[in-house]
Structure 1
Amino acid sequence: MSARAYDYDLFVIGGGSGGVRAGRIAALTGAKVALAEEYRMGGTCVIRGCVPKKFMVYASDYGKHIAKSEGYGWSVDGASYDHGKFMTRMHAEIDRLSAIYDRNLRNAGVEIISERAEFVDAHTLRLKTSGRTVTAEKILIATGGRPWLPSPEELPGVQHVITSNEVFEMEAVPKRLVVAGGGYIAVEFAHVFAGLGAEVTLVYRGETVLRGFDDDVRLAVHEGLKEAGVRVVTTCTFERIEKGEGGLTITLSSGHEIETDTILMAVGRQANTEGLGCEKAGVALNENGNVIVDDFSRTNIENIWAVGDVTGRMGLTPVAIREGHAFADTEFGGKPWKMDHSYVPTAVFSRPEVGTVGLSEAEARRQHGEIDIYKTNFRPMKNALNGDTSRTFMKLVVRASDQRMLGVHVVGEDAAEMIQTAAIAVKMGATKQDFDQTCALHPSSAEELVTMRTKWQPEAI
């Protein structure tokens, strides 16, 4: 290391999950580390992403649980929801988690700089508030991403919408809400606000939500939106938004209009590289503004790396954490390794919930040719008495040649919990026979993963 030549051995730009992990692990090796964060420690996930979103999912579920409890003998009268009370408690927990990130960094010896840092050159950064410049031998870009919005020229009236950033600051549940988008963020918030009592419409340019997921999973979630009372409008986009005395009016590409109180745009995310000065450091970006990196998260500049959402590789918090850890171990810990982005489990906290790991049926056929499919669709035992008609769907994607499990897909209650465990087996290369030889745990929904025996055959036309 060259502590005498530079102010720091490592300078991390961004205090999200990936940057915090990298900075902490590097500092524990004895490196002199600084981390600049312009907003709050914890990044998107902790402050305005998966953590507060999951709390909102829980909040929206309780009303349904109260109603369904009558089937099990409970009588609950006068139940009501106080959004202000919930938000106060949620933000108190977010503050606590953010403080833990801050404390863990300081305890590891990381210098925290509460300013925005921008490149001057490949080894120099300017701190925007103080105007001070600092130098570092190695620099890690971990600035994450942010919601993408069309320009006012592309969508007149776009200034009247909110994004997934502002949704966590809403003081009240709107009576009417329109969600634009069909990805996991759009789907999750459509369910959240429907569960909190809003009249929700989801507008999506495609035919079925969750593009990129297995087709059977997409269909199950699409139907689940309708069952939750969400009005789903497909193959349409926004033409313009107008504000009047009665609220907002959306004109769709179909010519139809929708009246609403609030519009949540969830139509994609983009890397936080604008204004960062990557061009001054010579760091290459792709056409979407993502930092281009190799398998070891190294950019085209030998002393600069990038991890997490800013790279556009896989926008998941645990992935960013592992990428950051791998970087720190490789560059400072003498233990080189790289993040393996295959067979990463993921979830969509829709209702029904999605848990998935590995390849979709279509992708498996494209990559491996002949495959075997196993499916099951059943009403969970829990719903036998409560009047809930929702079902659980499971699907196994198996390579025919050697029976290796290529994909496991679950749509139903606790799908995320199931898929985390199943992912261990899939990652290890388990076969269908390994699943078959595992004794079922009864009574549980998860037992269906090891009891499917009949290959699915498409119906004859």
Structure 2
Amino acid sequence: MAVHSYDVVVIGTGPAGESAAINAAKHGKRVAVVEKQSAVGGNCTHRGTIPSKALRHQVRQIMAFNTNRMFRDIGEPRWFSFPKVLARSQRTIDQQVAMRTNFYARNRVDLYFGVARFKDEHTLMVRDDHEGIEELHAQKVVIATGSRPYRPADIDFRHPRIYCSDTILSLNHTPRTLIIFGAGVIGSEYASIFSGLGVKVDLIDTRDRLLSFLDDEISDALSYHLRHHGVLVRHNEDYASVEGDEAGVTVELQSGKRLRADAFLWANGRTGNTDELGLESIGLQANGRGQLTVDEHYRTEIPHIYAVGDVIGWPSLASAAYDQGKNASDDLLDEPFRMVEDVPTGIYTIPEISSVGKTERELTQARVPYEVAQAFFKDTARAQITGDTVGMLKILFHRETLEILGIHCFGDQASEIVHIGQAIMQQKGEANSLKYFVSTTFNYPTMAEAYRVAAMNGLNRLF
């Protein structure tokens, strides 16, 4: 059995693992990465962010075609099957894999495909699909193994009509009706996707409002538009049983309600991928959700072993994971380090949502004298041209200093628009001011112009 020595070994090739490995390699370290799947990219590329967002894009195009009057001159509205739409998304996945494989090759990072398990604090055993074993010795280790859907034992996920957010991507038919349990980010996104394909969706929420971490106005807007597209949202519910048969799935709720649909999607919670790492060999222990605890430098209780990305829990975003990987890598290289904070939220429902900073509820509880600046997309020329008039930009700012305290956006391109406000929020002193948007010339017509419209609206409230 061959033994290979490295300065850094990274476990996992999702956003967190990739950024940690490439950053270390660019600083002249000898680096290896281990990937359990047969191709790089992690769950982000193969089961999460990339396929679901590519799928969403195809559905938006279908919805635009079916609702645009101009296209009615071409023909009647068209129905598209879920597998056919999903197949288009595979092209994006293939492009991502090819690009990311090239990253490792260009930076001379060694790739090992197999399951990594700790032998001791500095040694990993990598077992491939053919039972071949490689031994890797590392000065530093970065655990970036990501997460997978939490799957309760009392639900039979082997049943052909019962899915989790991973297996839903292998759905080979288009159900007429679908029950989604869990109304978090993943559940809400899939509710948008399936309802956009004409599927009747029941969305079961264990809480009293959708995505309660969002600004209340934005959460309310999401609820309205999901219902507008035919999603029935049921709040404050939990399941008693989920039973599948040849014709569909029956869900008994603890409230006594009985729901029936062609298929069932579980989208409630995720578990860190730590169960195969052999953590007991090195004295580390994951919590009940399979997540590792780290300090402010992403170090576990063993200082030369780091953990980043979904495997450490919040915020469980690909964007944050990428930053965490780089910053952990900077720390082990003794480079300048920063903790990832104030991460913008990107939620790819239809329409999409993005926010950064404080919500109205948080500012009110903290007794901060804030004011609201608003711009509705229906009033902007660019949205009127594209027809994407649903949504708004909302800026929360300090009444006295005009400091930007929060940016909340709902509608087309929200995840792009938010970054303009984010850039101003991160400035120091007087540079962080609502006045920036009034004194800056924006291209016309653009969605970015909403910042000028909102800023004028906000300043008018002060006088």
Task: Output the TM-score relative to the length of structure 1.
Answer: 0.89
Q: Aligned pair 1:336/2:336, yes or no?
A: yes
Q: Counterpart of 2:149 in structure 1: which amino acid?
A: P
Q: Aligned pair 1:410/2:409, yes or no?
A: yes
Closer/same/farther in 2, CA of residues 191 and 258 from structure 1, 3 Å limit = same
**1:277-326 per-position Cα deviation (integer Å, ceiling 9, x unaligned):** 22322335445332111222111212111111111132111222122222
Closer/same/farther in 2, CA of residues 116 and 367 from structure 1, 3 Å limit = farther
Please name the residue that 2:48 is paired with.
Answer: 49
Q: Is the 8 A contact 1:440 1:451 kept in 2?
A: no
**1:158-210 per-position Cα deviation (integer Å, ceiling 9, x unaligned):** 65421111122222221111111111111111010111121111111112111
Q: Counterpart of 1:190 in structure 2: which amino acid?
A: A
Q: Counterpart of 1:136 in structure 2: which amino acid?
A: A
Please name the residue that 1:133 is paired with.
Answer: 135
Kindly report which structure 2 residues correspond to 1:163-312, keeping only aligned pairs within 5 A, or say none.
163-312=164-313
Closer/same/farther in 2, CA of residues 370 and 167 from structure 1, 3 Å limit = same
Q: Aligned pair 1:16/2:14, yes or no?
A: yes
Provide the C-alpha distance between the structure 2 equivalents of 1:341 and 1:269, rounded to a whole number of angstroms: 22
Provide the C-alpha distance between the structure 1 equivalents of 2:231 and 2:353, rounded to a whole number of angstroms: 18
Q: Is the 8 A contact 2:308 2:325 kept in 1?
A: yes
Please name the residue that 2:115 is paired with.
Answer: 116
Provide the C-alpha distance between the structure 1 equivalents of 2:383 and 2:21, rounded to a whole number of angstroms: 47
Please name the residue that 1:425 is paired with.
Answer: 424
Structure 1: state its 5+ residue gaps. Answer: none
Q: Is the 8 A contact 1:284 1:299 kept in 2?
A: no
What secondary structure does 1:59 align onto? helix
1:146 to 135, 145, 148: 148
What secondary structure does 1:263 align onto? strand
Provide the C-alpha distance between the structure 2 equivalents of 1:79 and 1:276, rounded to a whole number of angstroms: 48
Kindly report which structure 2 residues correspond to 1:319-334, keeping only aligned pairs within 5 A, or say none.
319-332=320-333
Q: Counterpart of 1:37 in structure 2: which amino acid?
A: E
Provide the C-alpha distance between the structure 1 equivalents of 2:99 and 2:450, rounded to a whole number of angstroms: 39
Please name the residue that 1:354 is paired with.
Answer: 353
Please name the residue that 2:449 is paired with.
Answer: 447
Provide the C-alpha distance between the structure 2 equivalents of 1:303 and 1:321, rounded to a whole number of angstroms: 20
Q: Counterpart of 2:344 in structure 1: which amino acid?
A: P
Structure 1 residue 249: Cα displacement? 0.8
Structure 1 residue 376: Cα displacement? 4.4
Percent of aligned positions with the same letter in both sequences?
28
Q: Is the 8 A contact 2:354 2:409 kept in 1?
A: yes
Task: Output the TM-score relative to the length of structure 2.
Answer: 0.89
Q: Is the 8 A contact 1:18 1:323 kept in 2?
A: yes
Q: Is the 8 A contact 1:143 1:310 kept in 2?
A: yes
Provide the C-alpha distance between the structure 2 equivalents of 1:391 and 1:374, rounded to a whole number of angstroms: 17
Q: Aligned pair 1:435/2:463, yes or no?
A: no
Structure 1 residue 440: Cα displacement? 5.1
**1:331-384 per-position Cα deviation (integer Å, ceiling 9, x unaligned):** 33x532224312x22221112211211111122334463322233445355776
Bigger Cα displacement from structure 2, 439-448 vs 289-298: 439-448
Provide the C-alpha distance between the structure 1 equivalents of 2:349 and 2:459, rounded to a whole number of angstroms: 26
Q: How many correspondences in the alignment?
A: 448
**1:246-267 per-position Cα deviation (integer Å, ceiling 9, x unaligned):** 3111111221111111111111
Structure 2: state its 5+ residue gaps. Answer: none
**1:364-405 per-position Cα deviation (integer Å, ceiling 9, x unaligned):** 3344633222334453557769998x6323321123352211
What secondary structure does 2:301 align onto? coil
Provide the C-alpha distance between the structure 2 equivalents of 1:121 and 1:304, rounded to a whole number of angstroms: 11
**1:225-270 per-position Cα deviation (integer Å, ceiling 9, x unaligned):** 0001111111111110122343111111221111111111111112
1:29 to 12, 27, 30: 27
Q: Counterpart of 1:36 in structure 2: which amino acid?
A: V
Bigger Cα displacement from structure 2, 285-294 vs 39-48: 285-294
Q: Counterpart of 1:268 in structure 2: which amino acid?
A: G
Structure 1 residue 141: Cα displacement? 0.4
Bigger Cα displacement from structure 2, 354-363 vs 442-451: 442-451
Provide the C-alpha distance between the structure 2 equivalents of 1:99 and 1:455, rounded to a whole number of angstroms: 47
Provide the C-alpha distance between the structure 1 equivalents of 2:246 and 2:289, rounded to a whole number of angstroms: 38
Provide the C-alpha distance between the structure 1 equivalents of 2:214 and 2:79, rounded to a whole number of angstroms: 36
Q: Is the 8 A contact 2:374 2:453 kept in 1?
A: no
Structure 1 residue 454: Cα displacement? 4.8
Provide the C-alpha distance between the structure 2 equivalents of 1:14 and 1:294, rounded to a whole number of angstroms: 20
Provide the C-alpha distance between the structure 2 equivalents of 1:382 and 1:404, rounded to a whole number of angstroms: 27
Q: Is the 8 A contact 1:72 1:386 kept in 2?
A: no
Provide the C-alpha distance between the structure 2 equivalents of 1:371 and 1:31, rounded to a whole number of angstroms: 48
Structure 1 residue 445: Cα displacement? 4.3
Provide the C-alpha distance between the structure 1 equivalents of 2:84 and 2:157, rounded to a whole number of angstroms: 30
